[in-house]
Structure 1
Amino acid sequence: MAFTKKIRNSKTQYSWPSIVMHWLVALTVLAMYPLGLYIVSLGYYDPGYRIYPNIHRSIGLLLAVLVALRLTWKFFNPSPRMLAQKPIERFAAHAGHIALYILLFVVFSSGYLISTADGRGIAVFDWFTVPAIQALANRQEDFWGTIHFYAATTMMVLTAIHILAALKHHFINKDATLKRMAGVVDKNTNS
């Protein structure tokens, strides 16, 4: 086994930019969900009431930029061929990835609309401010909050299925699906 050092994806291996972006998005999404649940549990007088929502919004906007970069990278740098043997697995993998990206878009959009519903922009770690779109600032925080919660929860369920599928490939199918996303090239595996 060796680690790949490629900048572009090959037919059998993900490149380091693809791998790094995948894991950054994955770990950030996994961390943002419990943070969001904690935020909605806070009372108005809780010391974190003003701190944690700003962190959540800032990370969310930076994550949206990272996902946009990842999709751009994916468009110009196609993924390696899938290792799934059965047509239903190929279909499920494609459908699952598309659903995850759609849910990410819904979560980002609804999060933005919650945060700008009062017409104020979003300060990203006090580095810069993303302005509100005044035509969309219609005080619909509760509506967009519901959309945000259910889309994020659905995304967590699909993420769990995605993780289980990767583990199935690794431990049951014994193929290189998970190794490829870890940057490991296994010369003994047909990948």
Structure 2
Amino acid sequence: MRAELLQLGYAGLTIDGVAKRAHTSTPVLYRRWPSKAVLVLDALSRRGVPDEEPPDSGDLREDLLAFLQPLARRFDGVLGEAMRGLLAETGRDPELAALVQAQIARIVPESGITAILNRALSRGQIRGERLRPRAVALPTDLLRHEVIARGTPIPPTAVAEIVDDVIMPLLACDTGYGRGQDAGE
């Protein structure tokens, strides 16, 4: 299935094509995966999720960039294209929407962002009253938006803009954060 997805992309992938490549029949595939979207979602869920410790440089901005840049690269190529295709289908299928959201949460774990933000809170770099669930989800939500709205690859400048223009002004105690500014300026 992965080879078919790599060769044809999400839009060109068909259950019939996957069955032919796998030397099986479409009814066999449909017994396990009721739709192309569920088949692709299952294939994507088999991708490994990095379990490395979130960065801890002592600087909120640097930690966010070090965490989000590799995450943005995970959406390059087939994964990003497949996610866009899947998300387009979720409007018609609430059950699929729930499955896709669970998969996105697995690929883009908010626990890393939570750890980074909690460390920054303990260092006094962010305002605790602003550390609400939606604010914690925002960095990864904005990466997903980039994938959906603009496609991939997500340029490093887009990640820096997310951090500098949205996240830092929202959470940081130091109001000097902004595009191209360092914490010390």
TM-score, with length taken from structure 2: 0.32
Query: Larger strand proportion, structure 1 or 2?
Result: 1
Higher relative contact order (CA closer than 8 Å, sequence separation 6+): 1
Query: Larger helix proportion, structure 1 or 2?
Result: 2
TM-score, with length taken from structure 1: 0.32
